[in-house]
Amino acid sequence: MQVANLPRGPVMVDVHGFGLTEQEKARLSHPLVGGVILFRRNFQNIDQLKALTAEIRALRTPELLIAVDHEGGRVQRFLDGFTRLPPMNVLGELWQQDETAARAAAENVGVVLAGELRACGIDLSFTPVLDLDWGRCAVIGNRAFHRDPHIVSELALALQRGLRQGGMSTCGKHFPGHGFVAGDSHFVMPQDDRTLAELEADDLIPFARLAEAGMGSVMPAHVVYPAVDSRPAGFSPVWLQDILRGKLAFDGVIFSDDLGMEGAAGAGSFVDRAEAALAAGCDMVLVCNQPERADEVLAGLQPPAQPRLAERLQRMAGTGDITGWQQAILSPAFAARQAEVKALAIPQNVLQGPAVGEAS
């Protein structure tokens, strides 16, 4: 098969099963596609996952980015053969007892999370969650490190150091903070009535700290903050350009959250949603679990000029050779880190709570 020489486009799509159909190969070869997001349905075992990512990589050069939501807790797409990662609030609870141990544990989680995925040919996990645990948002819940933005920042910085050692960049989500609202933006349009000053004093702190420390990418929330802008953050030039790019001086990739979520529906058709997100300042839009809608976007989207897209997306590509990572995760040093992560207390109810972004 001839490998297409195509720059990465601004759309990330998914695939249905354990391997690619001919229709999916054609979709992934579309010039507007730049990445693929995998889900639990795409995982049968490690050998199959390696074959799937190799199949995706073989389609084009530069290779499509391959991403996954693999945070830990109830948002860990691949389980069999992977180290079971704790929900992030386990690290926040450890911080209350021993700050040094919590930092070390967060770094170990990052190394193990990234290294195991890199060995399977995956570039990026959409992590860390930088939302604060206000105790009112079930869909965030124990995915958050802590309520205190300074503790969240310290643990996320340690996780980021670990991810980098494991060959992976970071994606801070859900900017500027989803933890204060009760609604799940997969199904409703949440509204956070706080002022910008209130958000800056709390929820924005981790995003500012990680942006300063070279966070690779950000995913904005499908949440409206009417005191700042009437549009959801992911469709708001105020949030993405004035505040994230301007005030916080963030220079990485901005990924939209899934355009199929109810929190995106107010922007119109899927093509309208994609155009609005890109116009607001997103670099790449995600269309998940609805291949017909993905095809609509690919057929109808006219993206704006994105002179820095190739450079920014290249920074999201995993580092280190995949076969090198396959050897690295067999080393005694990596095994020691895996053992440390396995020793973290994972609550028995780890899978309880709203399912996050999965569809059959």
- Out of 174, 178, 186, 222, pick the active-site residue: 186
- Out of 14, 69, 133, 257, pick the active-site residue: 257
The residues near 169 (Cβ < 8 Å, ≥ 6 apart) are 124, 163, 216, 217, 252, 315, 316, 318
Q: How far apart are CA 206 and CA 220, in angstroms?
A: 14
178 is catalytic: no
DSSP H helices in the chain: 22-28, 46-57, 89-97, 99-118, 149-165, 196-200, 204-212, 237, 270-280, 291-300, 309-316, 322-328, 332-342
* Side-chain half-sphere exposure of 300, counting CA atoms within 13 A: 13
Indicate the residue type of 64: L
Asked if 130 contacts 74 with a C-beta cutoff of 8 angstroms, the reply is no
Question: φ, ψ for residue 260 (rounded to 5)?
Answer: -85, -10
Mapped onto helix, strand or coil, the DSSP state of residue 353 is coil
Look at strands 229-232 and 224-225 and give their pairing: antiparallel
Q: Residue 87 burial by CB count (10 A; 0-12/13-18/19+): exposed, middle or buried? A: buried
Angle of helix 89-97 relative to helix 149-165, nearest 10 degrees, comes to 110
Asked if 13 contacts 24 with a C-beta cutoff of 8 angstroms, the reply is no
283 is catalytic: no
Helical (H) or strand (E) element with 173:
strand 171-175
Asked if 185 contacts 153 with a C-beta cutoff of 8 angstroms, the reply is no
Mapped onto helix, strand or coil, the DSSP state of residue 230 is strand
Q: How far apart are CA 144 and CA 92, in angstroms?
A: 8
Q: Angle 22-27-29 (CA atoms, 0-180°, nearest 5)?
A: 95
Give catalytic residues, as residue numbers. Answer: 186, 257
